[in-house]
Amino acid sequence: MYSVLVVDDEIRQREAVIGNVDWQRAGFEVVGGAENGIEALDLLEKLEPDLVLTDIKMPLMTGLELAKRTREIRPATKFVILSGYDDFEYAQEAFKYNVIRYLLKPVSASELTEEFEKIGAEMDREFELLKSGGSNEDISLRLEKAEFLLPLLLGTGEDVHASDDLTKNAKKLGIIKSDGDCYSVIASKFKANTGKTCTSQQHIDFVNSIFNKYALCESFFVNGRIITLVTSEPEEMSTKLRLPVIELVQSAKKLLNQNCTIGISETVQDPSLLALACTQAITARRYTSDGTGNIRYINDQERKSTHEFENAEKSVYKLEQLLKIGSKDEIKSFLDEILSGKTRDGIDYIIIQILATAHRCVSVLPDGNAAAELFTSNNSFMSRLSFDFNEQYKNELVSLCLDARDIIFRSQRHESEALCDHALQIINEEYMNEDLSLTDASDKLGVSPNYLSALIKKKKSKNFVALVTERRMKAASDLLLCTSMKIFEISQKCGYSDQHYFSYCFKKYYGVSPNKYREERLGGKDI
């Protein structure tokens, strides 16, 4: 027996519908009546009807507005609109919001009874289809998808794939529609009222049936939970996640008499990061046990007020600094410190913060494949989705952080070498400019003078001024020996407006004056 809520601002019309339609024959039970949309919304939360029969034109809120707002909070609730307006565009708009019938007044009680008999039969078929999954997908294709996705989700793949190749294969298998699609992972678990886990293979069909109404999805049964991959255009992902998870929780309670808890990962665009997203979803689902609701997004996870959670922020900051400038021994020692003496929830929380910190530090590097490199080379520990923390897991986590440190150091080394090369190029090309300075060069390169000075000193064992002087003296030597230019002309060509200061610098560098230098090397020969 399905429940129905009747909404109509005309009390006689509402009572006539409730009293004269043979609801039992149609397979329905009227659980309440409302005179406007505002009242109906309140009753929706309390009565949780399967279907709403509503008038279209009502004060305070129209029937269409009611259907639209209901879809946001109870996406599985269906609507039948009873209207005196024969407007195709209006009806077309209504069907966007789970409206399954648009009936025109006047309509007799017997006609309504017959219509609801048809609706009841349709809902029966839909319910059976929901439980069975109703997938007509080729078995071989489903196996191909599983072989492709499971290693990525569980982090068990042995081969390192390029992101472009992974995206190409995902598109070929129909997992995504376009190269720009993104991914999110959902972890769901079902429990009976007794608290006993009852998630089974059959629940996969139940989950897929709901998610498939909103987005492309693939689900797998892993260690007592269902892992669902959802793909969508980035701008639509929020809606395509929010509505099905609400419907899943409500439908599990209504149709299966079971409690469904859900964790939702961040959205990622690189398929090589699906193992991280899977771990996030599982971690988020665990926090649903704290009494704050059945659905938890990893991004919205509230920090605990305990001492260990308050210190997590400081730990994350220090780890970030160590990954950038610390030694391997310092990183090992720090991780050992922050992972010791934590509660189960504390371990879960700090692990996800460590993973997020490592990902954040490498994802901002100029090398766009750095994050993918990190997590594909450290995918073995991701496969243990239960976070059974032990010494092996700890070692694998340390290994990931050390690899992140190596990737960051490599990038820093390449960056510093490139900056030094550019600085030397500026010196070589602009040494004749009297105003050339460290500040001038650092402004051109977009770094601080102190930072540039330190890089140059480390690579060349000389400071910026010494390198400029060296280049100017080399140019002066060439001009003295290869041209008949006068000393004052040479000084200007080499970045010195004052001939006397040039001669002073030249003698300090070569040990003799410019004239003596020319005389000694040329021996009175004509140039």
* Residue 460: count of CB within 10 angstroms of its CB: 15
CA dist., res. 47 & res. 54, Å (int) = 16
Max CA pair span of the chain = 126
- Residue 160 pLDDT: 47
Q: Which CATH architecture has domain 2-131?
A: 3-Layer(aba) Sandwich (3.40)
Tell me the C-alpha to C-alpha distance, in Å, between residue 418 and each of 248, 324, 408, 413. 53, 18, 15, 8
Read off the tokens for 368.
């766009």
Length of the chain: 527
What is the residue type of 26?
A
CA atoms within 13 A on the CB side of 358: 27
- Classify domain 133-300 at the CATH superfamily level: Reverse transcriptase/Diguanylate cyclase domain (3.30.70.270)
CA dist., res. 387 & res. 393, Å (int) = 8
Tell me the C-alpha to C-alpha distance, in Å, between residue 316 and each of 60, 285, 320. 50, 22, 6
Tell me the H-state helices in 366-390: 370-377
Q: Exposure of 89 by Cβ count < 10 A (0-12 exposed, 13-18 middle, 19+ buried)?
A: exposed
DSSP label at residue 483: -
> Where is 190: in which H helix or E strand?
strand 182-191
Tell me the DSSP string of 390-436.
Answer: -HHHHHHHHHHHHHHHHHHHHHHHHHHHHHHHHHHHHHHHHTT-TT-
CA dist., res. 234 & res. 246, Å (int) = 20
Place of tokens 């001038």: 440
Show the CA angle centred on residue 365, arms to residues 359 and 369, nearest 5°.
70
Show the CA angle centred on residue 223, arms to residues 295 and 182, nearest 5°.
55
Give yes or no for a contact between 335 and 401, defined as CB atoms under 8 angstroms apart: yes
pLDDT in tens, the chain (527 residues): 899 999 999 999 899 999 999 999 999 999 999 998 999 998 998 899 999 999 888 888 888 889 988 988 888 899 998 887 665 566 667 677 888 888 888 888 999 999 999 999 988 888 777 666 555 556 677 777 777 887 788 765 544 455 677 888 888 888 888 888 889 999 998 988 887 888 777 788 889 888 988 888 888 887 678 899 999 888 888 888 888 999 899 888 888 889 999 999 988 888 878 888 888 888 888 777 655 568 888 776 544 434 445 555 567 778 888 888 888 899 899 888 887 766 555 566 677 778 778 877 887 777 667 666 776 655 544 444 444 566 777 788 888 888 888 888 887 777 778 888 899 999 999 999 998 998 888 888 887 788 788 888 888 888 999 999 999 999 999 999 999 999 999 999 999 999 999 999 999 999 999 999 999 888 755 44
Q: What are phi and psi of 32, to 5 degrees?
A: 175, 170
Domain 431-527 coded CATH 3.40.50.360: no
Residues 165-188 as b or e (16 or more Cβ within 10 Å = b)? ebbebbeebebbeeeebbbbbbbb
For the chain, the structural domain boundaries read: 2-131, 133-300, 303-411, 431-527
CA dist., res. 208 & res. 60, Å (int) = 37
- Residue 341 pLDDT: 63
